[in-house]
Amino acid sequence: DRGVQMLLTTVGAFAAFSLMTIAVGTDYWLYSRGVCKTKSVSENETSKKNEEVMTHSGLWRTCCLEGNFKGLCKQIDHFPEDTDYEADTAEYFLRAVRASSIFPILSVILLFMGGLCIAASEFYKTRHNIILSAGIFFVSAG
């Protein structure tokens, strides 16, 4: 009975860590219509009319799915200089999510630390403090 519990706990911990890592790393959090534009080289340069196209975005970059910039992905500036976005746009929502992107990363680190505590508890006779620490890490991860 204890072996089955240990096996299920280990599988669950690895599944949680894997899914969290995939969630943090993927670029497919939001599909929306947005403007794919590049920064102009000079102020006198007239660029083509910015058209709204389908995009997919994640925490780290935005990629265009249609139009002239199809397949182009650009890194996201998490701390832009001008913050004149309308509060009801998808871009504003994504910027709010990206501003808090440290929390999923911190959660992955805490899950990993909890797993290390569980693994370390196998090598000590008094396991209670180490297992308590692992539990605190898992609860803090969230």
Contact present, 119 and 13 (Cβ < 8 Å): no
Helix orientation angle between 102-120 and 128-141, rounded to the nearest 10 degrees: 160
Share of the chain above pLDDT 90, in %: 9
pLDDT tens per residue across span 39-57 = 555 555 545 556 788 888 8
Q: How many CB atoms lie within 10 A of CB 34?
A: 20
Q: How confident is the model at residue 28 (pLDDT cuts 50, 70, 90)?
A: confident
